[in-house]
């Protein structure tokens, strides 16, 4: 089958989530042909997986302007810009209506299994940039298809590849065997079956970001219920407690995010959770009752827990892009230029600058990783950042260099998304950012409780 001329081909967008659909809206606004491929059965499939979780961004911050312009003629009414949607709200009230407006240019149950240059694997140089992209698709009914594209925008996100419990970045020994007692998502504690799973149990939570805060707050709320006496959380941190551990608190310019950190702090302060610091999980064993025993790289063995919630971040799935020449940072797996802006060893949300097409380029011309996937393993992504990325990319593909280079976004300043300094080490008190002066916290060091004062 001969590939058609590149100028006659659509831009293929992988993923019908917030950033992917925003990319489609901007391409539509530029008069460019496109095709959106979504592996799941609906728009925002991944977003629906955390339908019960409330965003810390408001509706005013999670609706893309180009998308809103497309929706307006349909009679769509934007929710209160000052209110906070859940993941379910975001998917049902915004993403699905947007996908419906785009019509049959959004295909569902269409999983991309490979992307390459037509007739060129990653080794071949000859006439490479003149060849269109070829995108291989597998449909849920078993059909396969090949489509050609002038450009590829990968907005597939990182939801499908959560990080493991192991402190080395690999699964802990015994982790796969213990999967029946491990959750890699924030549980919906309002769901009766989920509630029964954790009520009255001792649950370990591994992680230090917003998802971990949400889980800790949920377990603390469960512990206060009359029918869940004895519910207890064990918070496992790979680094120590510092003034920035619980985020920016009331100083956070995204107030709901600051409130998450305060809720996690309250869970610890009120005794619903104990914190274990400097613990890197090496193995997960079972005791004679089938409970889980976490063993650290330093040999520490924690008291048994009934359940384990692992919230150690997400990773990009790059397997279907193996035949493309990507320029990725060796640590973050983010585009090289972008990695300099988002490295959590150096930057927090407040020091990440808005960026566009120029920070997303690869040796392979006209392929872009956008949205959460563009951040690789960095945890500081905001939806507004993804919207700005795809606005710039669409402008570039349309030949509007001035618009592609222009910055049209101002991000909230905050120091709570991972913090500056060495990412896995506690910060000195005088350097701690974000919220101030944590009250004394219950810590478990070497298995024995200890008291740690605030900043």
162 and 185 Cβ atoms separated by less than 8 Å = yes
Least confident piece of the model among 16-25, 174-183, 264-273: 264-273
Least confident piece of the model among 71-80, 352-361, 438-447: 438-447
CA distance 27 to 368: 14
Q: Is the pLDDT of residue 42 over 60?
A: yes
- The 10s digit of each residue's pLDDT in 84-136 is 999 999 999 999 999 999 999 999 999 999 999 999 999 999 999 999 999 99
The percentage of residues in the chain with a pLDDT greater than 90, rounded to a whole number, is 70
Q: What number of other Cβ atoms are within 10 A of residue 137's Cβ? A: 21
Query: At which residue do the structure tokens 């149990």 appear?
Result: 201
- What are 309's two structure tokens? 């919630």
Q: Is the pLDDT of residue 396 over 50?
A: yes
DSSP structural state of residue 170: S
Q: Is the pLDDT of residue 293 over 90?
A: yes
pLDDT of residue 258: 57
- What are 145's two structure tokens? 């298809």
For the whole model, what pTM was predicted? 0.84
Q: Is the pLDDT of residue 400 over 90?
A: yes
Binned at pLDDT 50, 70 and 90, residue 342 comes out as: confident
Binned at pLDDT 50, 70 and 90, residue 435 comes out as: very low
Q: Average pLDDT over the chain, rounded to whole?
A: 85
- What are 119's two structure tokens? 């007739």
- The 10s digit of each residue's pLDDT in 239-262 is 866 555 555 545 444 455 556 667
């Amino acid at each position: 089958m001969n590939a058609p001329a590149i100028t006659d081909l659509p831009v293929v967008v992988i993923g019908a989530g917030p950033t992917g659909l925003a990319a489609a809206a901007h391409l539509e606004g530029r008069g460019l042909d496109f095709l959106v491929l979504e592996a799941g059965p609906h728009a925002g499939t991944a977003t629906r997986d955390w339908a019960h979780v409330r965003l810390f961004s408001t509706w005013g911050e999670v609706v893309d302007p180009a998308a809103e312009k497309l929706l307006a003629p349909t009679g769509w009414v934007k929710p209160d810009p000052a209110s906070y949607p859940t993941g379910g709200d975001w998917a049902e009230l915004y993403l699905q209506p947007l996908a419906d407006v785009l019509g049959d240019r959004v295909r569902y149950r269409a999983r991309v299994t490979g992307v390459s240059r037509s007739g060129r694997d990653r080794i071949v140089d000859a006439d490479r940039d003149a060849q269109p992209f070829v995108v291989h698709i597998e449909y849920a009914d078993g059909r396969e298809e090949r489509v050609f594209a002038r450009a590829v925008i990968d907005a597939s996100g990182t939801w499908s590849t959560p990080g493991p419990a192991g402190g080395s970045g690999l699964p802990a020994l015994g982790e796969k065997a213990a999967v029946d007692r491990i959750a890699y998502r924030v549980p919906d504690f309002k769901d009766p079956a989920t509630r029964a799973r954790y009520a009255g149990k001792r649950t370990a939570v591994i992680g230090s970001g917003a998802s971990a805060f949400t889980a800790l707050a949920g377990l603390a709320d469960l512990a206060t219920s009359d029918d869940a006496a004895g519910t207890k959380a064990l918070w496992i941190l790979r680094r120590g407690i510092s003034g920035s551990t619980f985020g920016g608190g009331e100083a956070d310019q995204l107030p709901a995010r600051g409130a998450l950190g305060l809720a996690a702090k309250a869970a610890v302060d009120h005794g619903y959770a104990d914190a274990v610091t400097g613990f890197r999980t090496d193995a997960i064993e079972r005791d004679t009752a089938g409970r889980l025993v976490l063993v650290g790289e330093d040999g520490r063995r924690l008291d048994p827990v009934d359940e384990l919630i692992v919230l150690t971040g997400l990773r990009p799935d790059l397997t279907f892009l193996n035949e493309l020449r990507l320029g990725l940072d060796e640590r973050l797996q983010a585009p090289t230029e972008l990695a300099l802006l988002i490295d959590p060893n150096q930057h927090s949300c407040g020091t990440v600058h808005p960026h566009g097409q120029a920070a997303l380029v690869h040796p392979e011309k006209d392929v872009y990783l956008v949205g959460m996937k563009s951040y690789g393993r960095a945890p500081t992504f905001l939806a507004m950042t993804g919207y700005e990325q795809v606005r710039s990319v669409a402008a570039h593909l349309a030949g509007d260099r001035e618009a592609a280079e222009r910055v049209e976004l101002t991000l909230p300043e905050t120091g709570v998304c991972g913090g500056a300094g060495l990412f896995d080490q506690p910060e000195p008190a005088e350097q701690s950012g974000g919220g101030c002066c944590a009250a004394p916290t219950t810590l478990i060091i070497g298995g024995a409780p200890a008291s740690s004062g605030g900043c």
